[in-house]
Amino acid sequence: MKRNLGIASLLLIGVTFILKVSGLLRDMTIAFYFGDSYLADAYIAAFIIPNMLFLFMTNGMKNALVPSYVDAF
């Protein structure tokens, strides 16, 4: 059981790292193609609200569900 929890933790770390790197690549691509323009500002403004909701839900799941799951087993 503890081995599965360790594997799940490593998987969570790996996925988080991949997400951070892909976000960096996204920002670098936007900066390369659009620079400091109103198009880049429009994209970023349209991206912030859904991304903020997604991050709130994933962090809430990580911070609330995982400790409850560990306590249950």
What CA–CA distance (Å, rounded) separates 65 from 60?
8
Local structure of residue 37 (DSSP, 8 states): S
Task: Let me know if 34 is exposed, middle or buried by CB neighbors in 10 A (0-12, 13-18, 19+).
Answer: middle
2: left (phi over 0), alpha (psi -120 to 50) or beta: alpha
Question: What is the pLDDT tens value at each position of the chain, 73 positions in all?
Answer: 677 888 988 999 999 999 999 999 998 998 898 888 888 888 888 888 888 888 888 877 777 777 777 777 7
What CA–CA distance (Å, rounded) separates 64 from 27?
30
